[in-house]
A and B are shown apart, each in its own frame.
Chain A
């Protein structure tokens, strides 16, 4: 998305042009010294990715809370953030060093943690969960209505992903896949909103469908090129196993994604925020024809 127009790249020049060069350098260093650099590049990605997913969980909870009318104040936010970050620390400290540390044929040099670290993270996590649930119960009692379960879904999902999940090896692959699916759905809506709002674009289901199809095709083709094409080229030129090349490229591409994600998903950006607060059905109608959800509910 930031590469779609020169205006976007000018807005974030270091993210658009500086970070890719630095990561290309890191990737080349990993291919140059595969036993020295590649494991640490992968370790960086391995620890950064759950931290990044945690940020997305907080963001999604804020969106669902806003849509549901659940005000997240300072106490709620602190409890929610602490709970989500504690699940991340639980996941990292829960992995036994030396066990399941070979991913993409790369031995990840996971740090060794003291026995108390996991227990401490779990204690913080449960305390924060209790505080957040307390805030939610207070809100329910004050409003005399139930909190929409969707508000709690991202945090619950995060808990399943990071606390009981890592006991199954498959979760190391499932979590990035689930994250990618979440991301694609949200990014697709934002892209549709940007396209439909452009001057002279017809607002109809046909236009929404064709734009969505084009967007999905571009993303899938780009994904194949990045995660299959580039490793084929690098493994051939650096005489490395294909799987190692996949791991190095995946680490670099994902770290780049963490940077890009940081600049585009800030809810302070009005266009993104408005896209995340609408429904896809609204893109097929003229703005005047949209009934505000509250007015529609009242008339019903």
Chain B
């Protein structure tokens, strides 16, 4: 018992790195990506592009333009998730309901795309009131 455990630990140490090295892909294999990964990479690149564009436009564009760019990121991300996990919604009914609810939320969000937001009435009341609306 006293020697058994350290031997087992040593055996594990000896075996696990071997398995990890064996599982590591070669540099040539690492460049081979599946169609799903290729699509995901393109979607991430598009999201990065939108983010960069928003940074480039900082101080030069209206806040609603930045909000619209953020909405585009949400749209691309949402569509990517649909492509990745849409198949599970075809098999699991509760996942189907979740997908529909998320899509309705996405459509509702997109219906506010680049629309001038109404000023927050509570905020305007607070601004008008020197006491900040406090009693």
Contact = CB atoms under 8 A, between A and B. Distances in A.
A44 B39 CA distance: 16
A92 to B, nearest CB: 6
B97 A114 contact: yes
B126 to A, nearest CB: 24
Interface in B96-130: 96-97, 99-100, 103-104, 107, 110-115
Interface string B11-36: 00000000000000000000000011
B110 A258 contact: yes
Nearest to B57: A13
A17 to B, nearest CB: 11
B68 A18 contact: yes
Contacts of A166: none
A50 B128 CA distance: 43
Nearest to B95: A111
B110 A259 contact: yes
Interface in A97-132: 97, 109-114, 117
Interface stretch (A19-27, A180-188, A218-226, A286-294): A19-27
B93 A113 contact: yes
A113 B96 contact: yes
Interface of A: 12-15, 18-19, 22, 25-26, 29, 33, 36-37, 40-41, 43-44, 47-48, 51-52, 55, 85, 89, 92-93, 97, 109-114, 117, 258-259, 262-263, 266
12 contacts: A13-B65, A14-B65, A22-B75, A29-B42, A33-B35, A41-B79, A113-B93, A114-B94, A117-B96, A259-B110, A263-B113, A263-B114
A112 B83 contact: no
Given A259-B113, A263-B113, A263-B115, A112 B68 contact: no
Given A36-B35, A263-B115, A18 B69 contact: yes
Given A111-B89, A113-B93, A36 B36 contact: yes
B79 A26 contact: yes
B79 A112 contact: no
A248 B91 CA distance: 25
List the 10 closest pairs (A to B, CB-CB), nearest first. A111-B96, A14-B68, A111-B89, A114-B93, A40-B83, A112-B96, A51-B107, A113-B96, A111-B99, A33-B35
B110 A110 contact: no
Given A111-B100, A113-B96, A18 B86 contact: no
Interface string B39-65: 100100010001001000000010001
Nearest to B111: A262
Nearest to A13: B65
A43 B68 CA distance: 23
Interface extent on B, as a size class? 35 or more
Given A37-B83, A111-B95, A263-B113, 12 more contacts: A12-B114, A15-B68, A15-B114, A29-B42, A37-B39, A43-B86, A47-B100, A93-B100, A111-B86, A111-B96, A114-B94, A259-B113
Contacts of B75: 22
B103 to A, nearest CB: 5
Nearest to A28: B42
Contacts of A93: 100
A263 B35 CA distance: 35
A148 B106 CA distance: 35
Contacts of A266: 115
Contact of A29 (B39, B86, B92, B99): B39
A22 B82 contact: no
Contacts of B111: 55, 262
B68 to A, nearest CB: 4
